[in-house]
Structure 1
Amino acid sequence: MKHSNSGFSLIELMVVVAIIGVLASIALPAYSAYQARGKLAAGLAEVAALRSVAETHLNDGRRLGGIDDLPGARPLTAHCALTAAFDDTGAGTLTCEVQNAPPAVRGARLAWERSEEGAWACSVASLSDPSLAPGGCVATAP
């Protein structure tokens, strides 16, 4: 009577597990960077929406002091703790401190700064990797 052995040997299974481990070690850092960029992009979208509201207010000649002067603005959102500070000349800053973020961007601060002339500039501070900064934003030292 002939018995056929079907199935995988222990060595074959160990090779498969090793291959999966190598693939996972390559994929996880890429996924973490993807998550970090996504969180920064979400924060940038939230603070950019406030930028439009602030610009409209300032162009209408209304004074802005803080976040409470912006209609519809909530100081705490799913992605940001938002703050605003403007002086009488119209110069000021809208800031998003990133909340509930992956370790690579935990504590990062996105800021839109407005000059007296009305020009806006974006910066990001406290990033562990400056390459994570969204396009159009400059990574700065903490």
Structure 2
Amino acid sequence: MKDIRMNHAQKGFTLIELMIVVAIIGILAAIAIPQYQDYIARSQVTRVVGEISALKTAAEEQLMRGVTPSGALTTLGYTSSDLVNTTDLDFTAGGGAGTMEATLDGNASSAVQGAVVTLTRDATGSWSCAITAAGGGGWDDSYAPAGCPVSP
């Protein structure tokens, strides 16, 4: 008589194996999601600094022609941004000194909403950048790009 042996190969995963995989995915997500949100906030602040910095040339050109730029940044050719809600341009201090400001709002991350990016030109023509931190919770000074410190 033939020896009949049943082949009981495992078909699928056990419950404990599935639970381990779910736990590993949960741990990875707990680390990755906050890091991703920080990355988004940092990139949004850097984007606004870049958008406003692009207007320095237009401001310099108007100052060279003897025009004192003031009002909204649109007078320098600024187009709207989904991250910026309020802009301000003030070179009325005279002597070529003035500021350009943009307040993050709209589609900006909740951690950076309300932060103000300020580019300041002194009378000698040197530009500096500063960020006034958002009033709400969640702001981290690491969101500011290099060369644009957070002012108290």
TM-score (norm 1): 0.88
Partner SS state of residue 101, structure 2: strand
> Cα offset for 1:138?
1.0
| Further displaced range: 80-89 or 111-120 | 80-89
Please provide the CA RMSD for this pair.
1.8
Relative to its length, the structure with more helix (as a share) is: 1
- Return closer, same or farther for 1:108/1:4 CA change in 2, 3 Å cut-off: same
Residue 10 of structure 1 pairs with residue 15 of structure 2: yes
- TM-superposition CA deviations, 1:1-35 (whole Å, max 9, x none): 62433111111100000000001111111101110
The answer to whether the 8 A contact 1:96-1:110 is kept is: yes
Residue 55 of structure 1 pairs with residue 66 of structure 2: no
- Which runs of 5 or more structure 2 residues have no equivalent in the other structure? none
Q: Distance in 1 between matches of 2:116 and 2:74?
A: 21
Percent of residue pairs bearing the same amino acid type: 38
Q: Distance in 2 between matches of 1:46 and 1:68?
A: 11
4+ residue runs over 6 A deviation: none
Residue 110 of structure 1 pairs with residue 117 of structure 2: yes
- TM-superposition CA deviations, 1:25-60 (whole Å, max 9, x none): 111111011101111111011101112211111122
Structure 2 partner of 1:78: 82
Q: Distance in 2 between matches of 1:56 and 1:10?
A: 70
Q: Distance in 2 between matches of 1:69 and 1:89?
A: 22
> Cα offset for 1:71?
3.9
Structure 2 partner of 1:126: 133
Query: How many residues matched?
Result: 140
> Cα offset for 1:73?
2.6
One-letter amino acid of the structure 1 residue matched with residue 98 of structure 2: G
Partner SS state of residue 111, structure 2: helix
Q: Whose Rg is larger?
A: 2
The answer to whether the 8 A contact 1:90-1:115 is kept is: yes
- Which runs of 5 or more structure 1 residues have no equivalent in the other structure? none
Structure 2 partner of 1:95: 101
- Return closer, same or farther for 1:138/1:4 CA change in 2, 3 Å cut-off: same
Partner SS state of residue 137, structure 1: coil
Residue 23 of structure 1 pairs with residue 28 of structure 2: yes
Q: Distance in 1 between matches of 2:76 and 2:117?
A: 20
Q: Distance in 2 between matches of 1:46 and 1:4?
A: 62
Partner SS state of residue 88, structure 2: strand
Partner SS state of residue 103, structure 1: coil
The answer to whether the 8 A contact 2:62-2:69 is kept is: yes
